[in-house]
Structure 1
Amino acid sequence: MKIKQISVFLENKSGRLAAVTRLLAGRGINIRALSIADTSDFGILRLIVNDPDEAYRALKEAGFTVSLTEVLGVEMPDRPGGLSHILSLLEEADINIEYLYAFIGRGENGAMVIFRVEELDKAIAVLQQKGITVLEGEKIYQL
């Protein structure tokens, strides 16, 4: 139920993001979702890819500052209130969300959200008990 996310520290200068994507493409690694948080000096690129272990190795070998983090993926209806419902369940369970990012997938529950939470196992259990589809890493990697 946990998904491996790659986080890459990037200097905020021209060509750094292109270098990461070029490296991953050269290794046959496909990006499934991404998010960038930046300041004037640096950014954190967060990626869900089809082969997180290989992506980690490739980026590390190329000299990037990179880490692997476990996150939670949730599938939900792509309609008004879909995200609000999930957030309410986590709030009721007193689970803090560090960050999230969303993307559109395939199927009837076409929206997917990646969450970084403080209590990952608790969040998975709470959401599953409430009937929320918590995604396996392999499902996300294969999209």
Structure 2
Amino acid sequence: MTSASPPPSPHPARSEVRLRLAAQPRQGRTARRIDGAWWPRSYDLAAELPGLLRVLPRAWGRISSVLVNGDAWPACPERMVVAGQAVHVGRKDSPTAPHTVCLLAPGRGRWDLLVVPPATAEAEAGRLMERAVEQGA
């Protein structure tokens, strides 16, 4: 599992971002549907999103917009400032992709991450994340 941590905090175990990214980027018509998997610790987007955005690959560029499922993330702000940059947060209600988050970077692209529900047991979360990056979910 790819993990990254911000500077030391009083609760280091809580600061680790649980993220796995697919090894192969999207290509042509056979693009993968899922670019990785994220296992947040809660459904508090204001608390979880900054950590996620901090550990994304630099090649993805600056994420300016995030699209989340409105049912899964009940209290999400329309705009956040992350590392001094404004990030627009949009909500959608999609029964076909309830457990995904879409990240948009102008001029760079779009990346879709499977969101593993926070309450998922560690072993199951690991299996879900592995399957997402191996098969593109």
Q: Which has the higher helix share?
A: 1
Q: TM-score, normalised by structure 2?
A: 0.28
Q: TM-score, normalised by structure 1?
A: 0.28
Structure whose alpha-carbon radius of gyration is higher: 1
